[in-house]
Structure 1
Amino acid sequence: MNNNDRLVRLRYALDLKDEEVAEIFGLGGMDITIEEVQALLTKQKGHEDDEEEYVENVYMEECHNHTLESFLNGLIIHKRGRQTTKSGEPVKPTFSLKHDKDANNVLLKKVKIALKLTSEDILDILDDTGVYLSNSELSAVLRKEDHRNYKECGDRYARNFLKGLAMEYRS
């Protein structure tokens, strides 16, 4: 699963329109037009190959790690409001996505923050999709990358989490 897939699935799960997605990118510090949003969400034609078991989707415009994290930071601001320091200045969003393999972990953490989900909520969402995860396994996925108990979140968990969000928010 690539960043475009994550963005498409999250947009679907939260039932966001293109205009809202562009606004959320703006809140995350990235000015993007509706046409650019549509390019991030539109698959290119002609990349289906029947010989391969799994072919990764190719989109009109690639969603880089910084782009995805800008959206996630904007989503937090959109859902919870902008954080301010004691002096009243807005807090700069953090960018912790350094490697492609960490994208699912960052997605889970930031969506958890944006939607005010508890660990129990995440476990329930995964449970609704037939994926069973222990509290300690979830805790390992939500840790910082340099922590000794950190565990990489696989695509299966991220896909099912986004599927569960869609079931909950679109019902």
Structure 2
Amino acid sequence: MSAKALASLLLADVNACRALETVRDAGPGGAYIAAGFVRNRVWDSFYIPRPTADSTDTDVVYFDCDDLSPAMEQQHERALIGLCPEQQWQVRNQARMHMRAGDAPYASLSDALAHWPETATAVAVRLNVHGGLDVVAPFGLDDLFAHRLRPTPAILKRDPSIFEHRVVSKGWFERWPNLTRV
């Protein structure tokens, strides 16, 4: 599947558009929305009726080597909450996440996403000034659109139990019973 199919799905969702517009207009420079915001909407679209789990958790990611302070992330969260309080915003500068993971510094947003636990979760989107969708997906979109759960090479190298814990604790197979695991 393509970025065009992803854009079609997300831009048809009024709530997704509102979150994307808020991040574009008031989020950190170069910010994207990632993780469950994208994955859940795509995987939910495979089911009728669609799962009704909460979709207000919104992970905002950006890459800024000049200010690695958590205080800046909190400032961005407050700005987003002020404009769109119905979302549960979590803003993280991926330029500092290597410290939390014990990795070497990441070179870019795409490099940081490549160190996330699952390939289908390592997808970030943002609304551009032309109303289209920019996509960062270091592993592509195939696993996302194939409804496939696969650990990233980085998580297998670091600690495969992180992936295993997420599979169980997040209840993905209960929510999406046709999900395949690789």
Compute the TM-score of the two structures, normalised by the length of structure 2. 0.31
TM-score of the superposed pair, with normalisation by structure 1: 0.32
Give the number of the structure whose residues are more often helix, by fraction: 1
